[in-house]
Amino acid sequence: MSFRAIRRAVALGLALALCVLRFWLGRLRGPYTLERRALWLQQAARGILASLGIHYRVEGRPPTHGLVVSNHLSYLDILILSAAMRCFFVAKIEIGGWPYFGKAARTGGTIFIDRSSLASAEQVSAIIAERLELPVPVLFFPEGTSTDGSSLLRFHSRLFEPAIVAGAPVTAAAVRYVIEEGIPERDLCWFGDEPFLTHLLKTLGTPGFTAEVQFGEPHVYPHRRVAADGTHAEITAMREGDRCHEAEEAMQGI
């Protein structure tokens, strides 16, 4: 393990401990509403990113309500998107059993779904419908899994339905990572069967990098498949636009 990874691992441990302390101190001010839980998660994410020296940039206006959908590259996406805006995540049920992170996700108001169960999807849709009435957006990853970032998988449309029924706005968000020393984004992506701990140690040892989040304009869609296809096209365009901009900057530097 490199010195960089060791230093960041220690910083991460301290940051996680501070998150717990802030939560319990917050309880002295009264019970945690869902809105306060989302705010705690945002503050925790910002603290963790700062401790690890991870920078992030936001383009566009972060939504304050409705549904948000994003491409999915890594568990880092959770930190980046949480830091960019208050939100409730929809996550696979397995994360709920992770040491510390599962508990933290529940504390922050995350909704867990068993992707193999139709009954679970229906229950989650009902919860999303309730959350859409709050001044905090609900965010999920419609690809259903993380990828290497080379392309977007087809979006699953079922969880768009609560927004369609409620006439709530749907906002697309594109996440990307720019790593120093010309290291490709793929090296930060967590996909396939790579163990979490192995990838986390590799991430902690990665040279400095910046996360970029771009938000599109909110839209109200008439049908969930239209919403899925529309946001897929929008995120694809935002990601490809970023690649073109990066290539132009590289050419200017020659």
How is the chain split into domains, by residue range? 3-252
Return the pLDDT at 247: 41
**H helical segments located in the chain:** 3-26, 34-52, 76-84, 101-107, 118-131, 161-166, 196-204, 224-252
Contact present, 66 and 132 (Cβ < 8 Å): yes
CATH of domain 3-252: 3.40.1130
pLDDT of residue 181: 86
pLDDT at 242: 60
So what's the pLDDT on residue 222?
97
pLDDT at position 150 is 94
Query: Which residues, at least 6 apart from 127, have a Cβ–Cβ distance to it below 8 Å?
Result: 111
- In this prediction the pTM is 0.90
The reported pLDDT for the residue numbered 1 is: 73
With a cut of 50, which residues of the chain have pLDDT below it?
244-245, 247-254
What's the pLDDT score for residue 2?
A: 85
Give pLDDT, residue 243. Answer: 56
In this prediction, residue 253 carries a pLDDT of 45
Give the pLDDT confidence of 181-203 residue by residue, as tens digits.
889 999 999 998 899 989 999 99
pLDDT value for 241: 83
Query: Cβ atoms within 10 A of the Cβ of 36, count?
Result: 16
Sheet holding 209-215, edge to edge: 55-59, 209-215, 170-179, 67-70, 138-140, 88-92, 111-113
Residue 248: per-residue pLDDT: 46
